[in-house]
Chain A
Amino acid sequence: MNTGVVTGGWSYVWAAYSLTAGALFLYGVSLFVRVRRIVQ
């Protein structure tokens, strides 16, 4: 029966957080590496 309440869904939560953290981490690392190259 459709109760209007979403049940479960942890996998979606983990997917959203992992995607965000992963993308920001990779972009951050690329920035740090490029800036270090410039400073040196």
Chain B
Amino acid sequence: MIVMRERSIVPGIVLLLLAAWFGFAVALANHYGLDVSFGISTGLQAAIAAIAGIVGAVYFLVSDNLGPSLKAARLLVVLGIACFLLGSWYGLFVAPPEKFMGQVQRIMYVHVPTAWNGLLAITFGFVCACVFLFKSDWKWDARLEASIEVGVLLSFLLCCQGAIWAKPTWGVWWDWDPRLTTTAVLVFAFLGILALRRFVEDPLRRAVWSSVATIIAYVDVPIVYFSVKWWNSLHQQQSSPQTVSSQFYLPLRMNAFGVLFIMTGFIMLRSRIARERVEQELAPPLPRAVEMQEAV
């Protein structure tokens, strides 16, 4: 039986919601031309909202009282869907088209949040792998499986959205450019780790091997991020709040927090499924008499 340490989920949820509220409020104020900077630059405001959101999400994920956490995870997914729908509606119908890319720039409101949260999920998986190797606590193995699976899903979606955006702007669906190639390597590397977990039956070997593989594969994440700076790339360099029009902030932030909420809820739910599997594998076999009694 895995022993769960009691820790309140409330601080994580509160921090996550406060971060989202701060991000939306500042973006909304900027949109209507109100000065709410309080002497803080736009970049720093975005960084505060993002860091608070990430800290809240991670705190929520590592606070494991199963009953309330599952309800909160479901609630977070619903809240994330609401944010995502609202942000997408704003991005599709209210925000103006970009000067050169026109309507296809609207793909940014779903592509960029997917990229941020995909890399965040994989980074959380990397942390889980390191903690598991040091603490040998099965909770971290379950969290590793969950975060890698969600990270692979988001990274795969990222590649698909990128291909759809590339066709009208670059004229091709795919190009072996550094950013695209390193992202494809990321997807296949972590997909391989999920396959490894599927095929290894011994739970301890599975956990150790996949933790080590995750740490090795994670080397690709900084390469993905810096690829556009290190090499000549068709893909544009990272934008910053100084280089993005304030009219684009609101849908981008709404969708970023929407996908963050959905991702956090998904990881929590998926880690519950993974933990159930480990619990069953580690449970001692039932005595013969009990087995027969249960069969009757």
Q: Are A12 and B168 in contact (CB under 8 A)?
A: yes
Query: CB within 8 Å of A: which of B255-270?
Result: 262, 266, 269-270
Q: Are B161 and A16 in contact (CB under 8 A)?
A: yes
Query: CB within 8 Å of B: which of A1-40?
Result: 4-10, 12-13, 15-17, 19-21, 23-24, 27-28, 31-32, 34-35, 38-39
Report B194 CB to chain A, min CB distance, Å. Answer: 13
Report A35 CB to chain B, min CB distance, Å. Answer: 5
Report A10 CB to chain B, min CB distance, Å. Answer: 5
Q: Are A9 and B157 in contact (CB under 8 A)?
A: no
Q: Are B107 and A13 in contact (CB under 8 A)?
A: yes
Given contacts A16-B111, A17-B92, A17-B110, contact A6 B164 (CB under 8 A): no
Q: Are A9 and B92 in contact (CB under 8 A)?
A: no
Which chain A residue has the least Cβ–Cβ distance from B88? Answer: A17
Complex CA distance for A8 and B165, rounded to whole angstroms: 13
Q: Are B269 and A35 in contact (CB under 8 A)?
A: yes
Contacts of A34 in B (CB 8 A): 273
Find A16's partner among B70, B84, B164 (CB 8 Å cutoff). Answer: B164
Given contacts A17-B88, A28-B262, contact A5 B100 (CB under 8 A): yes
Complex CA distance for A6 and B161, rounded to whole angstroms: 17
Q: Are A16 and B102 in contact (CB under 8 A)?
A: no
Given contacts A12-B107, A31-B266, A34-B273, contact A5 B102 (CB under 8 A): yes
Find B169's partner among A6, A8, A32 (CB 8 Å cutoff). Answer: A6
Complex CA distance for A13 and B168, rounded to whole angstroms: 10
Contacts of B270 in A (CB 8 A): 31
In the complex, B276 has a CB within 8 A of chain A: yes
Q: Are B104 and A24 in contact (CB under 8 A)?
A: no
Q: Are B103 and A19 in contact (CB under 8 A)?
A: no
Complex CA distance for A23 and B266, rounded to whole angstroms: 13
Which chain A residue has the least Cβ–Cβ distance from B272? Answer: A35
Q: Are B272 and A12 in contact (CB under 8 A)?
A: no
Complex CA distance for A15 and B74, rounded to whole angstroms: 27
Report B278 CB to chain A, min CB distance, Å. Answer: 12
Which chain A residue has the least Cβ–Cβ distance from B149? Answer: A27
Report B145 CB to chain A, min CB distance, Å. Answer: 13
Report A31 CB to chain B, min CB distance, Å. Answer: 5
Contacts of B221 in A (CB 8 A): none
Which chain A residue has the least Cβ–Cβ distance from B67? Answer: A39
For B70, B110, B164, B273, which residue has the most chain A Cβ atoms within 10 angstroms? B164
Which chain A residue has the least Cβ–Cβ distance from B74? Answer: A32
Q: Are A9 and B102 in contact (CB under 8 A)?
A: yes
Which of B's residues lie within 8 Å of A, judged by CB?
70, 74, 77, 84, 88, 92, 99-104, 106-107, 110-111, 114, 153, 157, 160-161, 164-165, 167-169, 262, 266, 269-270, 272-273, 276
